[in-house]
């Protein structure tokens, strides 16, 4: 399947690399490919520049946002939440129309460091804003409750633990669940929270998530499990 991953950071690279391993035709979208490849400094987390990563993933093509959007039958939003809407506008509404748009982004405000605040919460969410901005796309919020490596390798966390999907289109959610299963999430741990409005809940979980990071001594390799009586 042709998949466009929007965003060249840690999350975008991890998703693109895993999707490539699974046999998909993957393009990563960026605003300016030349500028992205010219960067020589690590990011704020110490990850090497994109050009270093691409040397080991030559089959993943780097393209401008709109070209990536035209390529993808499925679009993955792996941008920083604060720029997601602008990035998707550059991808183009026509290139998103009728397609499943997996939204992994979090609307984090890191202006005061960690733990972050949320740019919007309680009465709105990034997932909803994306769906309103691109009504012809089928937005599914997922994978935003776990750290990058757990997204694509849930076995890093022992035992059964849960992942969530939220979106208004049932068929799009089934597509998302298929990708999750391919990543290694068993079908019985995927919880469908209903419509895209439920993105408010999974995005607000970020506050609890970062509290847990602090309580666990800075570890990101964890998840939660929903246990029913």
Which of 35-44, 62-71, 84-93, 147-156 is least confident? Answer: 35-44
pLDDT grade for 42, boundaries at 50, 70 and 90 = confident
**pLDDT average, residue stretch 148-154:** 97
Domain boundaries, the chain: 2-215
| Residue 191, pLDDT above cutoff 90 | yes
Q: Are 153 and 184 in contact (CB under 8 A)?
A: yes
State the number of CA atoms in the 13 A half-sphere of 130 facing the CB: 39
Q: Which residues pair with 191 in a beta bridge?
A: 164
CA distance 125 to 195: 12
**pLDDT average, residue stretch 200-213:** 96
- The superfamily in CATH containing domain 2-215 is NAD(P)-binding Rossmann-like Domain (3.40.50.720)
Q: What share of the chain in percent tops pLDDT 70?
A: 100
pLDDT grade for 45, boundaries at 50, 70 and 90 = confident
φ, ψ at 183 (rounded to 5°): -70, -15
User: Sign (positive/negative) of CA torsion 26, 137, 6, 187?
Assistant: negative
Q: What is the pLDDT of residue 120?
A: 92
**pLDDT average, residue stretch 56-82:** 97
| Residue 112, pLDDT above cutoff 90 | no
CA distance 84 to 79: 6
Close Cβ partners of 151 (under 8 Å, ≥ 6 residues apart): 11, 14, 15, 104, 143, 183
């Amino acid at each position: 399947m042709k998949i466009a991953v929007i965003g060249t950071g840690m999350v975008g690279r991890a998703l693109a690399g895993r999707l490539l391993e699974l046999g998909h035709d993957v393009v990563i979208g960026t605003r300016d490919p030349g500028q992205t490849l010219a960067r020589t400094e690590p990011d704020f987390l110490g990850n090497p520049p994109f050009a270093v990563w691409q040397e080991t993933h030559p089959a993943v093509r780097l393209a401008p946002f709109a070209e990536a959007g035209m390529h993808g039958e499925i679009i993955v939003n792996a941008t920083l939440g604060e720029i997601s809407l602008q990035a998707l506008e550059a991808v183009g509404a026509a290139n998103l129309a009728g397609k499943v748009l997996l939204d992994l982004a979090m609307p984090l405000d890191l202006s005061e460091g960690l733990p972050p605040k949320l740019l919007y919460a309680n009465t709105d969410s990034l997932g909803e804003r994306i769906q309103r901005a691109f009504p012809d796309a089928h937005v599914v919020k997922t994978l935003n409750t776990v750290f990058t490596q757990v997204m694509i390798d849930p076995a890093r966390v022992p035992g059964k633990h849960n992942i969530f999907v939220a979106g208004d289109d049932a068929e799009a959610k089934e597509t998302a669940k298929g990708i999750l299963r391919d990543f290694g999430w068993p079908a019985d741990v995927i919880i469908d929270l209903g419509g895209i409005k439920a993105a408010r809940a999974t995005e607000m979980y970020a506050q609890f998530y970062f509290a847990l990071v602090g309580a666990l001594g800075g570890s990101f390799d964890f998840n939660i499990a929903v246990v029913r009586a």
